[in-house]
Structure 1
Amino acid sequence: MKPQIIIVTAAYGHDRLKELGGQQAVVPIVAAAGADGIEIRRELFSEAELQQLSTLGKTISDAGLITFYSVPEALFTEEGTLNPNLARHLGEAEQLNARLIKYSLGHYQRGVDCSSLRDLPLQLVVENDQTDCGTLAAIENYFNDDAPVGMTFDMGNWLWVDDSPVQAATRLARFVTYVHVKAAASAADGWRAIALDNADNLWRETLALLPSDVPRGIEFPLEGDDLVAVTRHYVELLSEV
């Protein structure tokens, strides 16, 4: 069974999205490219767009796509408590008809009561981000503590926190329910995401260690004059590897 391929709207770049007319404008591109779904990013909304989520959700559904929703906040606050905006974000996800909502981990502390996360109306996942809370040690500590949610494994972000993507995949694969496919290259000011065709083989080595039947999100740059063609190219690639 081939994995579902999800296009992360941020892959088109903030400036290009703005030029096109926002996240809703790329829905037809994603659909025409043969993807299965789209990951909507909360940080890319204006306040006005946040008031029109139901309309966007219908546009996505009418295009035959599924929706994932990414929130640029941590699931756990610096005090170790659950994000106080969780209910609001879940309401937004419902308006979008989202099947999944994604957070970074944040400051998880062992023993905190997470029972309220077990019976949510959609899948909740946490992602390894590019902070100290996204290191292999921090993520592994959380999931080894019988975490009630799944994991978004961002293949590239390990490099930002000086961890090995291959080692992380080996140790965390059993928890992974969604993969963010991302290649990266070292630059003068640190790491930067790059397209797979311009990358070394690390992304393939890492992906081979992860579950093959979970959704794969494209979060590397999708650039070019023909966005449908470049998106389709990577949809087809990631459907086969």
Structure 2
Amino acid sequence: MKSEIIVVTVAYGNQRIAALGGQIAVLPIIQQAGADGVEIRRELFNDATLANLPALAQAAKEHQLSISYSVPDTLFCDDGGLNPRLTNYFEEAQQLNAQRLKMALGNFTGALPTGELRALIASRDIPLLVENDQSEHGKLAPSQQFFAAISDAELPIGMTFDMANWCWTQENAEQAAAELGAYVGYIHVKAAVPHGDSFRAVALDDASDSWRTLLKQLPDNIPRGIEFPLEGDDLLAVTRHYVTLLRNV
């Protein structure tokens, strides 16, 4: 079974998305490029869009695109407690008819609110995926601790494996893939290069081939999201190029 190919809207850049008229404006491009789905980003919503999420869901359906919903927040708060806005995020995902809800981990202290999480996930029937972000909480050790606890509790929570965020946390991505691959349910395909005292994401054609090696270490039948920059005068052509590339890797 071939992996579903998803285009993450921020790949076009926040300013470009705004200039085009919002995330709904890139749905025709993503469809015509041959992708299967779109990752909608909450941070790009304006008040009007947030107040009418079913309209965005309907637009995606008309363009035959599944929706993944990305929320720029963490599952656990700084004090280690479960994020009180989690129910709200699930409700938004439900309005979008999303196939998955993605968040970062946050400060997981080892205390897993198993019953609360199980009830919430069951009531919404939307898979929750936790991503390795660029913070200290996105490092390998906290991720290992969390997913081991999730596995022991038999909770249906998977991982979004961001291929390049390990650069920011200064860890070995291939080791992370070996340690966490069993939990991965969605891949953010991304490459990064050094930039000043940090890193910046780059298009795959501008990176070394190490991303190919890493991608082959991960499950080959799960969704792959394009999160690296999609830039140029012809957004359809560049999007189609990378959708085709990832479909055939």
TM-score tier by shorter-chain length is over 0.9
Aligned to 1:216: 224
Rounded to whole Å, the distance in 2 between the matches of 1:71 and 1:116 is 20
1:229 aligns with 2:237: yes
Q: Which runs of 5 or more structure 1 residues have no equivalent in the other structure? A: none
1:125 aligns with 2:123: no
Q: Is the 8 A contact 2:112 2:149 kept in 1?
A: no
Q: Secondary structure at the match of 2:150?
A: coil
Q: Structure 1, residues 140-195: CA drift from partner, whole Å, max 9, x if none?
A: 11111135210000000000010011111111100100000000010114100000
* TM-score, normalising length: structure 2: 0.94
Tell me the CA shift for residue 115 of structure 1: 2.8
1:143 aligns with 2:147: yes
1:88 aligns with 2:91: no
Q: Is the 8 A contact 1:81 1:112 kept in 2?
A: no
Rounded to whole Å, the distance in 2 between the matches of 1:172 and 1:103 is 17
Rounded to whole Å, the distance in 1 between the matches of 2:247 and 2:217 is 16
Q: Secondary structure at the match of 2:217?
A: coil
Rounded to whole Å, the distance in 2 between the matches of 1:84 and 1:17 is 30
1:5 aligns with 2:5: yes
* TM-score, normalising length: structure 1: 0.98
Tell me the CA shift for residue 49 of structure 1: 1.5
1:26 aligns with 2:30: no
Q: Is the 8 A contact 1:36 1:66 kept in 2?
A: yes
Q: Secondary structure at the match of 2:54?
A: helix
Rounded to whole Å, the distance in 2 between the matches of 1:115 and 1:197 is 45
Rounded to whole Å, the distance in 2 between the matches of 1:49 and 1:83 is 23
Q: Is the 8 A contact 1:183 1:194 kept in 2?
A: yes
Rounded to whole Å, the distance in 1 between the matches of 2:203 and 2:102 is 23
Rounded to whole Å, the distance in 1 between the matches of 2:125 and 2:196 is 44
Q: Which runs of 5 or more structure 2 residues have no equivalent in the other structure? A: none
Rounded to whole Å, the distance in 1 between the matches of 2:115 and 2:237 is 44
Aligned to 1:186: 194
Q: Which amino acid is 2:195 matched to? A: A
Aligned to 2:116: 116
Q: Which amino acid is 1:106 matched to? A: G
Tell me the CA shift for residue 100 of structure 1: 0.4
Q: Structure 1, residues 217-237: CA drift from partner, whole Å, max 9, x if none?
A: 000000011111111111111
Rounded to whole Å, the distance in 2 between the matches of 1:43 and 1:23 is 11
Bigger proportion of residues as helix: 2
Aligned to 2:72: 72
Q: Which amino acid is 1:95 matched to? A: Q
Task: Please identify runs of 4+ aligned residues in structure 1 that moved more than 2 A.
Answer: 114-118
Q: Structure 1, residues 196-240: CA drift from partner, whole Å, max 9, x if none?
A: 000012211110100000000000000011111111111111111
Rounded to whole Å, the distance in 2 between the matches of 1:114 and 1:26 is 38
Identity in percent: 51
For these two proteins, the number of residue pairs brought into alignment is 241
Q: Is the 8 A contact 1:27 1:38 kept in 2?
A: yes
Rounded to whole Å, the distance in 2 between the matches of 1:239 and 1:78 is 39
Tell me the CA shift for residue 87 of structure 1: 1.1
Aligned to 2:178: 170
